[in-house]
Chains A and B, each alone.
Chain A
Amino acid sequence: MNIETWFLVIYFIAMAGIGVWTLKIGTKGSEGFLLGGRSLGPAVTALRLQSSSMSGYMFLGAGSLAYTKGYFSLWYAMGDIGGGVLNLSILGRRMRKLSQILGSLTSIEYLEHRYPSRWIRAIAAPVAVVCIFFYVMTQFIAGGRGLEMVTGIPYAWALLIAVGVIVFYTFLGGYLAVAYTDFVQAIIMLIGMVWILIGTLQAIGGWTAGNEAVGQINPNLLTMWGPEGIDSVQWGVIIGAVLVFSIGYMGWPHVNVSHMAMKRPSVARTASMYATGFNLLFIPAPYIVGIMALIILPNLDNPELAVFEVAATVLPNFAVGIVMAGIMAAIMSTADALLLQSGTIASQDLFQRFIKKDMTDSQSVWVSRFTVLILAVIGYWVAVNDPPSVAEVAIFATTVLGAAFVPVYVAAAWWKKANVPGAITSMILGTVSSVGWQLAGLVDVTGVDPMGVGIVCSTLALIVVSLATQKSHPVPEHVIAAMHETDKIGAIPAHMLTGQNDALGGQVPKDA
């Protein structure tokens, strides 16, 4: 076994160890398994949010974009850097407070409580599960490919190991395991990526020398307008790129659940500072490495492997092992968050809501775990037999999630007039328009990204339909009261809490 493989083995064991460590807390009940008992501080909240939203894309897609489009790719980086702080600032504190007042455990349940109608869940849950499943499958494939490249073992076995480790600790500890492994993974990702960047800059003789060399290949690569220059720039694609990675995060149920697990609503403010610090250090690195790969590896067959190949070229063997652990960390942290979210939606939002209403906490946790297992098996089967294109499926799934859910999540926390018909129309139109735009091939014809189209359609639908149906479908008084309370800073008054005070269970008289 080579030294790179040893590092990966140690890394896998450490991650599984965290799963075992959180087992006790995770099985205390639904709130423990699904939200870590609402106990997370700012650092874990921020880094968990960032690492689970960035995925293997940062190591595969970002490097590929930079390798093919030069500094144009930084439009994506700009959206990404601001995404975390935007999400935490706009949704963080309010979603944490409102979800506790309304007694919501999952991000889909939160939507149903805010817009009280079973149709909200009936529409949102399947859309979320399908998109999340496709996305998690791409992470499996990326994990398997990465492991295959480092260890040299066949893809099928590499995939099985990657899926096995992810499922193992998601299965054991639930949200807390995922949150803490994501936190550790974010740090490993950061160290690995910065290490590659430093090695790359040393290899090319510094940033200035690198830029001069890239300029000799094509001067347009040094501009923000793409390889063909400003005359052929597609503004619609630029707007879409910035939207996907800035406000797009706010529509991802698996990312938003971070807000609901915070220790206190005020954690959001500190967490946004951590998130910004992490983003500034981490996000530009893969893009710059991708651009500089043009000099180090000018004839790369597969641009998606730019960062991998540069790491293998410029770093010593032991460092490649650590960096590969970082890359696997990015892939796995997204995959586990997505798997857990799928399990949560299946158990809480579909099974308990529509099939077995009197399900106990323990049964709910087990349904969640079995769902995770079943999805992993299906994902493995598809990924090993007929693996689809990672980048296309991942971008498509996240685009649909963003288009369907961003307006309803933002309005849920901020707009007191957003009502049930508005939310239903918004989710349906957001999904249909983004899927339709993509499938009809209108992206190439118009140069407009489906994310932009989807967001515009779903936002307009929410505003117009909500205003038109205010009289027939007014927002319930208890929701309005909860939103007024959410406007305030400070602790939630006990009378606002929908959930019961379990400590009072120890004060029930005999004859009650």
Chain B
Amino acid sequence: MREHSESDATGGAGRPAEPDQSAPPGRGPATGKVAPESALKLAPNITAAEALAVFRRKLPGAEAEVREALHPFWWTVLSARTRSLFRRSPKPTAAGSQSVDPTAGQLMNVLVNAYSGKGFIADFDPRGEAVTVDEWLDAFESSDQAGPQPGPGDVRRTARSLVRTKVVKTVKLGMGLSITEAAAPSGILKPNWVVTGANDRFSSTILVDGLDSSHYIVRVAKL
């Protein structure tokens, strides 16, 4: 789940800021941070044992311990719909109703990092258990990353920019493109694994992505 580093909420869209049409966002009870109305916790695709294997690939023969760390993201769903330049009116069915829903398009799930504002289009359907907004805020407090900490309006702009860029790459010249919001931004907790350990030469802490097992070396020290 590599984030698209070029698409961030602070201007990655390269377009003038749109008015924020979102509903008034919730406020965290203690922090004053912008918080989502609802939140979901994703189930990890990668097990703790697999995260440990990633660690041992970097540090052969290491003894290590694994713990789960949740990182807060914003999640929004957009519908992208293309139409031909010479669009024909939808044909009525025998019963007189329209055969297709004119608003239907390709749904894309966009996840935006709640700190950095960098987002990516998920190649999976986010599923998991519902959690309280407080849990999302706790996860937010568990990190001290620097960043613009985007609100729902920023999330919408980033998501639109990502989806537009992706669709424009494939549509033919002259096709129309409309992007509509299929679900308002909500909170989502993405699972990662923090693996800490050492072999006879080095000690290290590595963050392993709970969805795709890519890794980031947090620190390494020679013993």
Contacts of B115 in A (CB 8 A): 506
Q: Is there an interface contact between B69 and A503, defined as CB atoms closer than 8 Å?
A: no
Q: Is there an interface contact between A497 and B214, defined as CB atoms closer than 8 Å?
A: yes
Identify which of B84-92, B101-109, B167-175, B204-212 touches chain A: B204-212
Q: Is there an interface contact between A504 and B54, defined as CB atoms closer than 8 Å?
A: no
Q: Is there an interface contact between B3 and A503, defined as CB atoms closer than 8 Å?
A: yes
Given A501-B215, A512-B205, the answer on whether A507 and B192 have CB atoms closer than 8 Å is yes
Q: Is there an interface contact between B207 and A508, defined as CB atoms closer than 8 Å?
A: yes
* A473-500 interface (Cβ within 8 A of B): 478, 493-495, 497, 500
Contacts of B142 in A (CB 8 A): 509-511
* A121-143 interface (Cβ within 8 A of B): none
Q: Is A386 an interface residue (CB 8 A)?
A: no
Given A507-B190, A509-B71, the answer on whether A494 and B216 have CB atoms closer than 8 Å is no
Q: Is A301 an interface residue (CB 8 A)?
A: no
Q: Give bound CA distance, A392 to B143, whole Å.
A: 63
Q: A263 → chain B, closest Cβ, in Å? A: 12
Given A506-B147, A509-B71, A510-B144, the answer on whether A494 and B213 have CB atoms closer than 8 Å is yes
Q: Is there an interface contact between A507 and B207, defined as CB atoms closer than 8 Å?
A: yes
Q: Is there an interface contact between A506 and B214, defined as CB atoms closer than 8 Å?
A: no
Q: Is there an interface contact between A501 and B57, defined as CB atoms closer than 8 Å?
A: no
Q: Which chain A residue shows the least CB distance to B50?
A: A495
Q: Is there an interface contact between B216 and A502, defined as CB atoms closer than 8 Å?
A: yes
Q: Which chain A residue shows the least CB distance to B195?
A: A512
Q: Is there an interface contact between A494 and B212, defined as CB atoms closer than 8 Å?
A: yes
Contacts of B213 in A (CB 8 A): 494-495
Q: Mark B1-40, 1 if CB is under 8 A from A, else 0.
A: 1110100000000000000000000000000000000000
Q: Is A505 an interface residue (CB 8 A)?
A: yes
Q: Is B43 an interface residue (CB 8 A)?
A: no
Q: Is there an interface contact between A503 and B192, defined as CB atoms closer than 8 Å?
A: no
Q: B209 → chain A, closest Cβ, in Å? A: 6
Contacts of A500 in B (CB 8 A): 214-217
Q: Which chain A residue shows the least CB distance to B142?
A: A509
Q: Give bound CA distance, A501 to B215, whole Å.
A: 6
Q: Is there an interface contact between A512 and B194, defined as CB atoms closer than 8 Å?
A: yes
| 8 Å CB contact of B3 from A495, A506, A509, A511 | A506
Q: Is B99 an interface residue (CB 8 A)?
A: no
Q: Is B113 an interface residue (CB 8 A)?
A: yes
Number of interface residues of A (CB under 8 A): 18
Given A478-B57, A512-B205, the answer on whether A503 and B143 have CB atoms closer than 8 Å is no
Q: Give bound CA distance, A440 to B2, whole Å.
A: 56
Q: Is there an interface contact between B192 and A510, defined as CB atoms closer than 8 Å?
A: no
Q: B154 → chain A, closest Cβ, in Å? A: 15
Contacts of A512 in B (CB 8 A): 69, 194, 196, 205, 207, 218
| 8 Å CB contact of B54 from A495, A508, A510, A511 | A495
Q: Is there an interface contact between B214 and A507, defined as CB atoms closer than 8 Å?
A: no
Contacts of B209 in A (CB 8 A): 494, 501, 504
Contacts of B215 in A (CB 8 A): 500-501, 504
Contacts of B5 in A (CB 8 A): 502-503
Q: Give bound CA distance, A494 to B192, whole Å.
A: 14
Q: B116 → chain A, closest Cβ, in Å? A: 4
Q: Is B118 an interface residue (CB 8 A)?
A: yes
Q: Give bound CA distance, A216 to B180, whole Å.
A: 76
Q: Give bound CA distance, A368 to B181, whole Å.
A: 48
Given A478-B57, A494-B209, A503-B118, the answer on whether A508 and B2 have CB atoms closer than 8 Å is no
Q: Is B47 an interface residue (CB 8 A)?
A: no
Q: Is there an interface contact between B214 and A495, defined as CB atoms closer than 8 Å?
A: yes
Given A501-B209, A512-B194, A512-B205, the answer on whether A506 and B145 have CB atoms closer than 8 Å is yes
Contacts of A497 in B (CB 8 A): 214
Q: B87 → chain A, closest Cβ, in Å? A: 32
Given A506-B116, A507-B207, A508-B143, the answer on whether A501 and B216 have CB atoms closer than 8 Å is yes
* B91-142 interface (Cβ within 8 A of A): 113, 115-116, 118, 120, 142
Given A494-B212, A495-B212, A501-B2, the answer on whether A507 and B217 have CB atoms closer than 8 Å is no
Q: Which chain A residue shows the least CB distance to B113?
A: A506
Contacts of A501 in B (CB 8 A): 2, 209, 214-216
Q: Which chain B residue shows the least CB distance to A503?
A: B3
Q: A250 → chain B, closest Cβ, in Å? A: 31
Given A494-B213, A495-B54, A495-B212, the answer on whether A506 and B118 have CB atoms closer than 8 Å is yes
Contacts of B144 in A (CB 8 A): 510
Contacts of A509 in B (CB 8 A): 69, 71, 142-143, 194
Q: Give bound CA distance, A512 to B193, whole Å.
A: 10
Q: Give bound CA distance, A512 to B143, whole Å.
A: 9
Q: A480 → chain B, closest Cβ, in Å? A: 14
Q: Is there an interface contact between B214 and A494, defined as CB atoms closer than 8 Å?
A: yes
* B29-64 interface (Cβ within 8 A of A): 54, 57
Given A510-B143, A510-B144, the answer on whether A504 and B216 have CB atoms closer than 8 Å is yes
Q: Is there an interface contact between B214 and A504, defined as CB atoms closer than 8 Å?
A: yes
Q: Which chain A residue shows the least CB distance to B141?
A: A510
Contacts of A507 in B (CB 8 A): 69, 71, 113, 143, 145, 190, 192, 207, 216
Q: Which chain B residue shows the least CB distance to A510?
A: B144
Q: B166 → chain A, closest Cβ, in Å? A: 15
Q: B149 → chain A, closest Cβ, in Å? A: 12
Q: Give bound CA distance, A502 to B3, whole Å.
A: 9
Contacts of B120 in A (CB 8 A): 503
Q: B115 → chain A, closest Cβ, in Å? A: 6
Contacts of B143 in A (CB 8 A): 507-510
Q: Which chain A residue shows the least CB distance to B70?
A: A509
Contacts of B214 in A (CB 8 A): 494-495, 497, 500-501, 504
Q: A457 → chain B, closest Cβ, in Å? A: 36
Q: Which chain A residue shows the least CB distance to B219?
A: A512
Q: B22 → chain A, closest Cβ, in Å? A: 23
A-B contact pairs, 14 of them (CB 8 A): A494-B214, A495-B54, A500-B214, A501-B215, A502-B5, A502-B216, A504-B192, A505-B216, A506-B113, A507-B143, A507-B207, A508-B143, A510-B143, A512-B194
* Further 7 A-B residue pairs, CB within 8 A, beyond A501-B2, A502-B216: A500-B214, A501-B214, A505-B216, A507-B190, A507-B207, A508-B216, A508-B218
Residues on B lying within 8 angstroms of A by beta carbon are 1-3, 5, 54, 57, 69, 71, 113, 115-116, 118, 120, 142-145, 147, 190, 192, 194, 196, 205, 207, 209, 212-218
The 8 closest A-B pairs by CB, nearest first: A504-B216, A501-B214, A503-B3, A494-B212, A507-B71, A494-B214, A506-B116, A495-B213
